[in-house]
Amino acid sequence: MALVEARELTKVFRRPDKDPGLRGAVKHLFTRRFVDKTAVDHVDLTIEAGEAVAYVGPNGAGKSTTVKLLSGILVPTSGEVRIDGLSPQRDRMAVSHRIGVLFGQRTQLWWDLPVSESLAVLRDVYGVDHGTYRRRMARFEDVLELGEVLPVLGRKLSLGQRMRADLAAALLHAPPVVYLDEPTIGLDLAVKDRVREFFRTVRDEGTTVMLTSHDLGDIEGFCRRLVIIDEGRIIFDGDLEAVKDAFARERILNVQTETAAVLDDVRAALPGAQVTAGETPLQFSVRFDRFTMTAGHVVTALAPLANLVDFGVDEPSIEDVIRRVYSGELVLTP
């Protein structure tokens, strides 16, 4: 049985339909007009134990709403959710011990308490013994450098400091399921790399992770499965590498030569490829479809035309694919 299950999950928000200003507000008291906004639309999702799933989509697609439904913060309009067989809406206490949640735009720290006291309160709430608590805090210190923020009040933390403290708060009770909504927002590059490595360690230890992020660096090398949501509906659910293999067909061979090559001759030798001049006469690039030719074929065709000094192949990232999906250039089939 899957650890996280959602069946026909739907959330509809009612919003007042009123004119602006005081006059509109007074008029609304009598007309009482509302419009429905479907944030999550019949989502079916299952996540197996130990999986790391990337849940991505453009702003307003329904990512955070889905996480709130899966964690019990919101009640679905229709459909159901099961976490390890339990309903997060009805079995709140039991489910809260099984999940950890981090919202990049929200905090679970107490505003007027030092971070150390907020974490101590959470320790007692989740029933973590003091020995285990010290070991986990030592680990967080190693990865997140928490020492400098522990004595600071929650309201005085910078964004990056708060994110590091909230990460510790979400993982303090070692939950089997973790939802990470924009977990690296505000972190500098060095800390971001350590946090990503920490995520991989947590995943390898068997924790089930659902990650939403606009930073595709968080996803590559961590998640093996990609779910794309748009306008509340899942439009793709499949293997991350399979998406790149199926839709990221182009490769770019960057070439440096000893003597300047005649680009028209290169184009004639590589029909179907796109040849572009580089920053100097000794550099150029060849964009080709990997399903019609290989890098070896391109190099072989270039060898008689110029003395090759160096070359390298640029492969597209999953970010390229998702950007094209967002812009409507590419349609994925679920």
Res. 332: pLDDT tops 70? no
Q: Give the three-state DSSP class for 261.
A: coil
81: buried, middle or exposed (CB in 10 Å: 19+, 13-18, 0-12)?
A: buried
Percent of the chain residues topping a pLDDT of 70: 93
The pLDDT value recorded for residue 327 is 67
Structural contact between residues 286 and 314, judged by C-beta atoms closer than 8 angstroms: no
Res. 176: pLDDT tops 80? yes
CATH of 249-315, one of 3.90.1580.10, 1.20.1250.20, 3.30.565.10, 3.30.70.100: 3.30.70.100
**Mean pLDDT to the nearest integer, 267-285:** 89
Q: Give the three-state DSSP class for 268.
A: helix
The pLDDT value recorded for residue 49 is 92
The pLDDT value recorded for residue 17 is 77
Q: Give the three-state DSSP class for 263.
A: helix
Tokens describing residue 145: 């450098």
Tokens describing residue 95: 């489910």
The pLDDT value recorded for residue 230 is 85
The pLDDT value recorded for residue 160 is 82
Residue 132 contacts by C-beta under 8 Å, 6 or more apart in sequence? none
- Exposed e or buried b per residue across 187-219, where buried means at least 16 C-beta atoms within 10 angstroms of its C-beta: beeebbeebbebbeebbeeebbbbbbbbebebb
Domain chopping of the chain, boundaries:
1-86+208-248+318-334, 249-315
Res. 219: pLDDT tops 70? yes
Q: How confident is the model at residue 319 (pLDDT cuts 50, 70, 90)?
A: low
180 closest CA partner among 284, 292, 102, 278:
102
What digits encode the pLDDT tens for the residues 93-121?
999 999 999 887 788 899 999 999 999 99
CATH code assigned to 1-86+208-248+318-334:
3.40.50.300
What's 2's DSSP letter?
A: -
**Mean pLDDT to the nearest integer, 41-47:** 94
Res. 304: pLDDT tops 60? yes
Cα separation values, 45 from 105, 235, 334, Å: 24, 12, 12
Q: What is the pTM of this model?
A: 0.76
Round the average pLDDT of the chain to a whole number and report it: 86
Quote the strand ranges of 185-264, DSSP E.
208-212, 225-230, 233-239, 250-257
